[in-house]
Structure 1
Amino acid sequence: MLKFLPGILLLQAITVALVLLAPADLTAWGWLRLFIPVLIVGLLTAFWFNASAAHHSKDAISNLKESHAREREALRINAERAKAKVMKEAHQETMQEVRRTSTQANIKVGMAFAGAAGIGGLLLLTQFMTLGLLMLTTAGGALGGYVVRIRQEKAKANVLTSTSPNKPRLINASPPAK
């Protein structure tokens, strides 16, 4: 509101000056000679106030748009952070469940192989040599295959999670020169 105060004071000063400069005896055309300059000054002041108010409203709208843009960007960043956090937690929970399940399966398989080896050892002690040796070699071979498969899966998982990108090789392309 203080923006309009100088314009109001200027309009009043011009109006007072015109009234003081007007002749003492105003006839029909005398009032018109006083009224037209006051009307022109009043219209110019009104246009000045209108331009000032429009500029003020544009500034307010611009500030509001900038504020909303900052708020929208902050919300977007917070949403991305929350999404990344949820994804990380879900991945950790999944990996923990996979490890737990794998450990339980390994214990069960290990107990089965130990039981088979124990039965093979018992057969050897009870003089069933061929059947005992067959049971022990079968249990040992199965255990070896199981261990090899676990190592292959771990190696495959390590390759998939490694950070070094592998360049694709074309089929029938010569190997890269060293």
Structure 2
Amino acid sequence: MFKYFFGIVAVQIATVALVLLAPELEGIGWLRLLIPLFVIGFFTAFWFNSIASHKSKDEVYEAKAQHAREREKIQLNAERAKTKLVQKTQQQIAREAKITHSKANFKVGAAFAGTIGAGALMLLTELLTMGLLTISTAGGALGGYVMRARKETKLLKQINQNNGSDNQAGNNVLKKPVKTIPKSKVKSSPKK
């Protein structure tokens, strides 16, 4: 406000000075007074325009800086939310896999116990060969299942450790490379 105030006061002082210094204001005398006043007003208008454009540029720069800060804050919050969601999803998947494995282990254990029980019953009823065959088959299947379960558990632990180190470093969760399609195989749509 004070920037314009000093300019207005300067124009008024110049106008009063020119009116007081004018020798006579008849005929062409008015023209000699109006031309310098017009020139002073013209340059004052440019001065005010310059002040206003600098002020608007400063305000635009400040608004852009504020928007950039807000955009950065939004992106940071979105990245944090994404990381939390990925961790929560991984925990939920691990929990569900654990529940599923425990249910499957119980069912498989019950099936093997039943098979071994049938083999023992056959042994007791003097079907020795059939009983031994049933027990050895159940034992072999149980051994294979236990070995497979241990292998899967070891693999899951390794994947969780890799994912944990990747998440701490800020990398992607999965280490699979992204497959891209070569441009030569992509068909372009006909242009209208």
Give the TM-score taking structure 1 as reference length. Answer: 0.81
Query: Which range is displaced more, 73-82 or 51-60?
Result: 73-82
Corresponding residue number in structure 2 for 1:54: 53
Return the alpha-carbon distance in structure 2 between the equivalents of residues 32 and 154 of structure 1.
101
Corresponding residue number in structure 1 for 2:77: 78
**AA in 1 matched with 2:109:** G
Q: Aligned-residue CA RMSD in angstroms?
A: 2.1
**SS of residue matched to 1:28:** coil
Corresponding residue number in structure 1 for 2:93: 94
Corresponding residue number in structure 1 for 2:13: 13
**AA in 1 matched with 2:36:** P
**AA in 1 matched with 2:9:** L
1:32-74 deviation digits (Å, cap 9, x = unpaired): 2222222211111111001111111111211222222222222
1:86-124 deviation digits (Å, cap 9, x = unpaired): 222222222222111111111000001111112222223
Return the alpha-carbon distance in structure 2 between the equivalents of residues 98 and 156 of structure 1.
13
Corresponding residue number in structure 1 for 2:151: 152
**SS of residue matched to 2:3:** coil
Residue 12 of structure 1: CA displacement?
Answer: 0.7
Return the alpha-carbon distance in structure 1 between the equivalents of residues 14 and 6 of structure 2.
12
Corresponding residue number in structure 2 for 1:114: 113
**AA in 2 matched with 1:105:** A
Gaps of 5+ in 2: 167-192
Corresponding residue number in structure 2 for 1:172: none
**AA in 1 matched with 2:108:** V
Return the alpha-carbon distance in structure 1 between the equivalents of residues 25 and 64 of structure 2.
55
**SS of residue matched to 2:76:** helix
**AA in 1 matched with 2:151:** Q
Return the alpha-carbon distance in structure 2 between the equivalents of residues 160 and 83 of structure 1.
20
**AA in 2 matched with 1:125:** L
Return the alpha-carbon distance in structure 2 between the equivalents of residues 111 and 95 of structure 1.
24
Gaps of 5+ in 1: 166-178
**SS of residue matched to 1:27:** coil
Return the alpha-carbon distance in structure 1 between the equivalents of residues 54 and 158 of structure 2.
63
Corresponding residue number in structure 2 for 1:176: none
**SS of residue matched to 1:4:** helix
Return the alpha-carbon distance in structure 2 between the equivalents of residues 89 and 110 of structure 1.
31
Return the alpha-carbon distance in structure 2 between the equivalents of residues 156 and 90 of structure 1.
19
Q: Give the aligned length.
A: 164
**SS of residue matched to 1:96:** helix
Return the alpha-carbon distance in structure 2 between the equivalents of residues 153 and 5 of structure 1.
81
**AA in 2 matched with 1:16:** V
**AA in 2 matched with 1:142:** A
